[in-house]
Chain A
Amino acid sequence: MHHDARSAPGPTLGGEPGASAVPGPGAAAPGPAGPAGRPGAGAPAVRGHRSPWWLAALWRLLGAVVAIWLVATLGFVVLQALPGDPAEAAVGGPGSQASAAALQAAREQFGLDQPLPQQYLNYLGQLLRGDLGVSYGQKLPVVDVIAPLLWPTLLLAFCSLAVAWVLALGTALVATGRSRFAAALASGLELVASVLPGFWLAAVLVMVFSTQLGWFPAVSDNSARGLVLPALALAVPLAGYLAQTMREGMLSALDAPFAAAARTRGETPWGLRWRHALRHGLVPGINLSGWAFGYLISGAVVVETVFARPGLGRALLSAVTARDVPLVLGVTLVSALGYVLVTLLADALVALVDRRAAA
């Protein structure tokens, strides 16, 4: 039996399977942001000796807060390097004819005339109060700008994640099957899927299912029909990675002694995969989901543009173009927060699955 696509550092390299910070095959690969495990996995204090779960949880939470602070700082520093006067964004955007006085007034209004360290402290102070500042372009609190966009993007992201999971599960189940033809087909599909450029897929989907067949609208809304194409455009490449990772976990589980034991007990190949191996495929898959969420937010920039969906991705793109610094920082923080929350959730899930697997 050739598992020719069975690559992998896989769990074998990671030490404790499942809980390891080592990604499954191709895991570091997905997107430049490569998932490679989950953040905070392996906070040193927790790792060596098993401390009580609440201490570990507390430590993870603290780590998450620190990471968010670092993102805010990173964003603040990087945005300083942007060419162009941010005050211009506040007085009519690039190419405005604002007078020197108007520019100066805008600088004062947004505190841009203060020394950088002072600006940074002000900014952190604002954040602590849950205030993301005021958008230069729209003159509205960033929170008010982001709030209505949050739900469409989250809906898209979660739908894509759900679809990706379903597709990946299916492919992984088929790919680990005994039918060599089906397995080869499935692993071929997942491979191609994982390198499909999302924006290209989106255009092809519109062309085929909207223009030619007329099954789904080209302009997406939050209805079921409107969500199909954008969710697919995001989910298919993601499903490729997920499937690769899950299959790897399942394959090594099928090689494990307990699988042989189950076989001797008369377990069918299908039952073996469904009842035993799947759980081992789930763990790396869940681990990957935190990263996947980050990917979905970045991917949303392109997909939201193609399908004309309102959302954070488009807001980010236009805010960068207009040098609307508070809005850029706001979207960055919100998406980082989402990422951190989802990884925390994934960690909790993994712990749950692990405990059950161990039991």
Chain B
Amino acid sequence: MSRLTRSALAAAAIAAAGALALTSCSSGTQAGPASSGTVKTKTTLTYASGDAEPECLDPHVGGNYPQALVATQYLENLVSRDKDGKIIPWLASKWEVAEDGKTVTFTLKDGVKFTDGTALNWEAVKANVDHLQDPDTASSTGYLAFAKITSVTKGASELEAVVHLSAPDSALLESFAQTWNAIESPTALKRSQEENCAAPVGTGPFKVASWAKQDRVELVRNDAYTTAPADAATQSGQAALSAITWRFIPDSATRYAALQSGEVDVIDNPLPENIQAAGAEGSAIKDLNAPRPGASNRIELNSGQAPFNDHKVREAFIRSVDVNAGVESLFKGTAPRSGSALSSAEPLAVQSADAYPYDLEAAKKLLDEAGWTVGADGIREKDGKKLTVRFPVSTNQSAPAEQSLFTQLQAGAKAAGFDVQISLLDLSSWYGALGKNEYELVSAPYTKVGPDVLRILYHSSGIKPAPSGYFANHAQISDPELDKILDQASATVNDEAKRGELYKQAQEIIAKKQVILPIFDQQNHYLYRAGIEGLRALPTVNTPTFLDVKPIPAV
């Protein structure tokens, strides 16, 4: 017995020593959150992003969503968009599109200074357009959006910037509203790209104080802030929050645990079940649903090569998968089914859910008609070739629940005789597979403000790859009529009704072609601690803005 006790004692001693070892390892400074009886508020907020940490904080460079998320806090655009999709003033108080659509004149707000003291004037606009169009900047998102701009000149005053276009562009204002086309200090842009990436300078409610790679970006309030967008609650003066700590926490379970414990106040990319829990009454965590604009989350069928160059096979695939059941089981009502190539954040989206019904028997019949017969293993064959479709999935771009959904669709399609081969790839390999045309199915997000995303994704010119091998038209639709409508819509300025009608036609053609399978909006939820007031998503690219957030309850 005594030996047992001694062993137990030894074990206890060891455990204590272990704790000691850990303690002695610490660098020692842990500012424990002070807890007191009364409801105290604080003006510092911690945001935890699950998106990849940007390599550059300037969204001109490259141009992806993680950059937009953080850049929304310190950069601003000439115009913004309200909830109904109407373009509203931001840095520009008004604008005028010429009759021929080839010049657009922006009138800038007076007396605006960037946080480095540089004044906002027409030259600043020119410097930003030049920066985005400079190949050395390596912009891809902003660059594409400004493709038609030929030059920026001075208007009637220092505060008037005239943008000249090679052809009318109905999407130009929407482009100017995108965070990737934000206006930065021309003085700051003159620095090296390295410096500008580390701390871009804008006019936003916050500014970049420091950036510890892989860990956090510290943002502090811009005390001289005056330039709220027209739909903000705070129309004059600075933000109530004094600082934001922007953290990068890649693991979704950890991120949620940190929110629950109050280590962080707001998170993005939550798991569906956490969104569902946040919807419950009395929950200590609230949900802000802000689907990304541009394209919906959809699976595209590569119509450029066999077997999906056959309309019947495409239709059969779409009929064979029960998307609704999968979405319901995995997303628990947090993600309504989409029936459009466009996000529901786009007012011009046309939902045609009946174009994508689930009907296994019809699918089988279509495959029979197309000459694909059931083989011994249940997989269909034609001329000795199996009905195999490759589905490269990017682990960066498709969330775990989406990957699970794809697995369910895979099982469903098998019942009709499709052999769907999912491969989980990292981002480079995924782009590599697409560039080499080694795919029949793909789910690629595309975020953009406005319906012009249809032209980028489904115009036949989008099949031609960039030198890197990238191309946007993954469905590889090449339809002269669709091209004509998209070009026409792009050129239709000063006539919103006609533009809307054209995009409606375009969506109908895409649906009829059966080249995409819309699933739901690009999921974009923010979870935040109950008690945080004034948090909203900017209706441009639906990134969160903290301008209106009131002091938040301390934990």
Contact = CB atoms under 8 A, between A and B. Distances in A.
B22 interface: yes
A212 to B, nearest CB: 10
Interface in A192-235: 203, 206-207, 210-211, 214, 217-219, 221-228, 231
A149 B7 contact: no
A155 B251 contact: no
A211 B261 contact: yes
Contacts of B6: 270
B257 interface: yes
B330 interface: no
B419 to A, nearest CB: 24
A318 B30 CA distance: 29
Given A95-B468, A159-B22, A322-B428, A218 B138 contact: no
B27 interface: yes
Given A95-B470, A310-B214, A174 B10 contact: yes
B143 interface: yes
A258 interface: no
A173 B10 contact: yes
B136 A102 contact: yes
A219 B11 contact: no
A183 B169 CA distance: 79
A140 B194 contact: yes
Interface stretch (A4-12, A163-171, A247-255, A341-349): A163-171
A28 B466 CA distance: 49
A318 B13 CA distance: 41
Interface string B105-143: 000000000000000000000000000000110111001
Nearest to A97: B140
A139 B255 CA distance: 29
B214 A314 contact: yes
Counting chain B residues whose Cβ lies within 8 A of the other chain, the interface size class is 35 or more
Contacts of B247: 219, 308
Nearest to B194: A139
A95 to B, nearest CB: 5
A211 B428 contact: no
B30 A227 contact: no
B144 interface: yes
Contacts of A118: none
A310 B251 contact: no
Contacts of B250: 305, 308, 314
Nearest to B137: A92
Contacts of A145: 213
A223 B26 CA distance: 5
Contacts of B248: 308
Interface in A53-110: 83-85, 88-89, 91-103, 105
A211 B25 contact: no
Contacts of A206: 253-254, 257
A177 B7 contact: yes
Contacts of A158: 25
A90 B449 CA distance: 27
A247 to B, nearest CB: 14
A227 B27 CA distance: 10
A236 to B, nearest CB: 11
Contact of A99 (B22, B135, B144, B214): B135
Nearest to A159: B25
A148 interface: yes
Given A99-B135, A206-B257, A218-B258, A321 B428 contact: yes
A227 B3 contact: no
B369 interface: no
Interface in B422-477: 426-432, 466-468, 470
Given A96-B468, A167-B14, A310-B215, A321 B396 contact: yes
Contacts of B197: 138-139
Interface in B455-510: 466-468, 470
B209 interface: no
A221 B247 CA distance: 12
A162 interface: yes
Contacts of A178: 3
B254 A166 contact: no
B18 A148 contact: no
Contact of A166 (B4, B18, B144, B255): B18
Interface in B239-273: 247-251, 253-255, 257-258, 260-261, 263-264
A182 interface: yes
Nearest to A214: B261
A311 interface: yes
A282 to B, nearest CB: 16
Interface in A133-166: 137-140, 145, 148-149, 155, 158-159, 162-163, 166
A149 B213 contact: yes
A96 B215 contact: no
A126 to B, nearest CB: 19
Nearest to A93: B62
A204 to B, nearest CB: 11
A84 B428 contact: yes
A311 B25 CA distance: 16
A85 B467 CA distance: 11
Nearest to B5: A179
Contact of A310 (B212, B258, B428, B430): B212
A170 B19 CA distance: 13
A151 to B, nearest CB: 9
Given A96-B62, A138-B55, A217-B261, A102 B10 contact: no
A55 B428 CA distance: 48
Nearest to B3: A179
A320 B426 contact: yes
Interface string B511-529: 0000000000000000000
A148 B211 CA distance: 12
B212 A148 contact: yes
B22 A163 contact: yes
Nearest to B193: A139
B61 interface: yes
A221 B27 CA distance: 10
B7 A182 contact: yes
Contact of A181 (B4, B26, B258, B426): B4
B470 A97 contact: yes
Interface of A: 83-85, 88-89, 91-103, 105, 137-140, 145, 148-149, 155, 158-159, 162-163, 166-167, 169-170, 173-174, 177-179, 181-182, 203, 206-207, 210-211, 214, 217-219, 221-228, 231, 270, 305-308, 310-311, 314-315, 318, 320-323
- Pick the 3 closest A-B CB pairs, nearest first: A170-B14, A224-B26, A223-B30
17 contacts: A94-B428, A94-B432, A95-B470, A98-B140, A138-B55, A149-B214, A163-B18, A167-B14, A170-B13, A173-B14, A219-B263, A222-B26, A223-B29, A231-B22, A308-B48, A308-B249, A322-B55
Given A84-B432, A305-B251, A318-B53, 4 more contacts: A217-B258, A226-B30, A315-B214, A321-B427
